[in-house]
Amino acid sequence: MDNRFRFRVAWTFVALICVTTWVCLTAVLYISHEKFRLQNYYFYEREFSKNEADVGIKYRHIPPKKENILPKDEDLFESRSLSGFPSISYADYPDDIIALHDVFISVKTSEKFHSTRLDLILRTWWNTAKEQIYIFTDVDDNQLKNRTDGHIINTKCRRTHHRQDLSCKIGQEYDAFIESGKKWWCHFDDDNYVNVDALLRSLRNYNWKSDVYLGKPSINHVVEAIYKGNKVHFWFATGGAGVCISRSLGEKMNSWSRHGKFQATSERLKLPDDCTLGFIINNRLGVELTKVDEFHSHLEQLSLIQQDKLSQQVSLSYFIDEDKGSNVIELDKKISAYSIEDDPTRFLSLHCLINPKVGWCSKEKAMQRNQVNV
């Protein structure tokens, strides 16, 4: 072998080693950069949601682009606020402020309350969200079907206040929410008044793409129960004050709730519907209950709510019983469209306080009523 040939082989060998080293180095650098970008992305997204929830301003979620799982940094945020968190100005993404059509509202009732509690709802807050509200009852009622434009569902659950029957209804409310594709599900009882504007304002403080469970606990300690032979502990929001659940959370509840499973879970737990919701959410899924002060059931003393704050509340309730006494909100005569005799629940007057332009709330109508009463 002559020297020239040896020289060529040696150079080819050196060139090969150089190319291989260059390829390896480029690959290592690329992978570590991607890893860094991934960590950064999650860091910012987590801090972003926390910041938004804390200050209670509108939230815009930036979904990762499907074709490229990691969004580029410039897609993620255009500018930053002084606190170092991204400020919200994303030209690329549509506005995501929660509106009425994003919410599925279910009301649980029963035949015996159609002409009393439900009638009161239909005269008042129903009119502020007709398209959004669905009524879950236990009988066919053609008159109500017409009046609600078909927004009444016969669950065929039995007509009692027993655990199984209430869970049967709420299980169907859940199924209907999942099928509706809405961003939020809010459940209320038929003895609730809901200020739909205040509800929307409240929902806008949270992200429907996160796991959010909103309501008001009625007891100040965790519930202890037995599930499949094991002790379980959880917090729950009382159903009588209303409960809201985000889409993200709703979908995760599937295996304990969908197509009749909610009733089965409630049976296993031997607890009512609202406790079962708390068990699934807080115990099984580890999602905290977010207490919202503006939700109210008749388990709290309603007369303690300041009158000038009444129109800011999300939900209110009442309890009227001749023997046990009554628990209703307090509204002074001078700001009431109706007297206590004509409006024992105070919901008519409350509705007028919140919506003074409603025809039957006007002063003239109130005077006519008084004259008729005299």
Residues that bind Mn ion (CB under 5 A): 191, 240
Give the nearer residue to Mn ion in terms of CB position, either 191 or 343.
Answer: 191
Site size with ligand UDP, rule: CB under 6 A: 13
Q: What is the DSSP letter of 290?
A: E
Residues 235-254 binding ligand UDP (CB under 6 A) are 240
Asked if 141 is part of the footprint of ligand UDP (rule: CB under 6 A), the reply reads no
Of ligand UDP, Mn ion, none, which one sits near residue 343, judging by CB under 5 to 8 A according to partner kind? Answer: none
Q: Where are the alpha helices (DSSP H) in the chain?
A: 3-55, 73-76, 119-123, 142-147, 163-180, 196-203, 247-252, 254-257, 261-269, 273-278, 347-354, 363-373
Residues 183-212 binding ligand UDP (CB under 6 A) are 189-191
* Spatial separation of the C-alpha atoms in residues 138 and 58, rounded to whole Å: 38
Structure tokens at 153: 């569902």
Residue of 106, 109, 265, 336 that binds ligand UDP (CB under 6 A): 109
The verdict on whether 190 is a catalytic residue reads: no
Give the nearer residue to ligand UDP in terms of CB position, either 90 or 136.
Answer: 136
Of ligand UDP, Mn ion, none, which one sits near residue 274, judging by CB under 5 to 8 A according to partner kind? Answer: none
Asked if 215 is part of the footprint of ligand UDP (rule: CB under 6 A), the reply reads no
Exposure string of 110-121, with b = 16+ CB inside 10 Å and e = fewer, is beebbeebbebb
Give the nearer residue to ligand UDP in terms of CB position, either 113 or 227.
Answer: 113
CB distance 120 to 188 below 8 Å: no
| Shortest spacing between CB 110 and ligand UDP, in angstroms | 4
Of Mn ion, ligand UDP, none, which one sits near residue 108, judging by CB under 5 to 8 A according to partner kind? Answer: ligand UDP
Q: Of the ranges 57-65, 120-128, 160-168, 337-345, which one interacts with ligand UDP (CB under 6 A)?
A: 160-168
Structure tokens at 225: 């129960």
Catalytic residue among 274, 308, 332, 343: 274
Strands 223-227 and 133-137: unpaired
Q: What is the DSSP letter of 191?
A: T
DSSP string, 229-289: TEEEEE----GGG-EEEEHHHHHHTHHHHGGGHHHHHHHHHT--HHHHHHIIIIIIS-PPE
| Shortest spacing between CB 276 and ligand UDP, in angstroms | 14
Task: Tell me which residues are annotated as active site.
Answer: 274
Interface residues with ligand UDP (CB under 6 A) are 108-110, 113, 159-161, 166, 169, 189-191, 240
